[in-house]
Amino acid sequence: GGVAFLNALPGLEKVELANGDEQTGVRILRRALEEPLRRIATNAGQDGSVVVQKVMSLKKGQGYDAATDSYGDMIALGIIDPAKVTKAALENAVSIAGMVLTTNVLVTDAPDDNRPNAGVTADMGMY
């Protein structure tokens, strides 16, 4: 997973930036696009930045299999990273972020102190 986002990174090089704010936005987006794969690798006990750099140097269609700590053809490894779904998720996240940045007030639920602890989840490094 995460390879579809990495494949989008070259598109950021083509964006014409008018000012420093836009450059900052592209830097934030670049880091955000790398983060899913970085997190997958970190959760598998690997250095996420090293895995991201390695995958970026691979041919299109190749990626990282965290279960076996190996690199290869994603389809042959049985890993499907659907670009259409990934694109929709990114578009929605950017839309929400833009709305939050232009909103003066955000409303959220107050923390519920009586809610039971969720316990250990899969993304906490426990296997």
Look up the domain containing 82 and give its range.
Answer: 3-98
Q: Residue 81 in contact with residue 63, Cβ under 8 Å?
A: yes
Q: Is residue 86 part of a domain?
A: yes
Q: Is residue 38 part of a domain?
A: yes
Q: Is residue 106 part of a domain?
A: no
Q: Is residue 59 part of a domain?
A: yes
Please count the other Cβ atoms lying within 10 Å of the Cβ belonging to residue 69.
12
pLDDT tens by residue, 29-48 = 899 999 999 999 999 999 99
> What token pair was written down for 71?
């690199």
Q: How many domains does the chain contain in total? A: 1
CATH classification of the domain holding 56: 1.10.560.10
pLDDT tens by residue, 90-114 = 899 889 988 888 888 877 888 877 7
> What token pair was written down for 57?
């140097």
- Torsion of Cα atoms, 4 then 11 then 93 then 90, to 10°: -20
Q: Residue 85 in contact with residue 4, Cβ under 8 Å?
A: no
Q: Is residue 94 part of a domain?
A: yes
Instruction: Assign 65 to helix, strand or coil.
Output: strand
| Predicted TM-score of the model (pTM) | 0.70
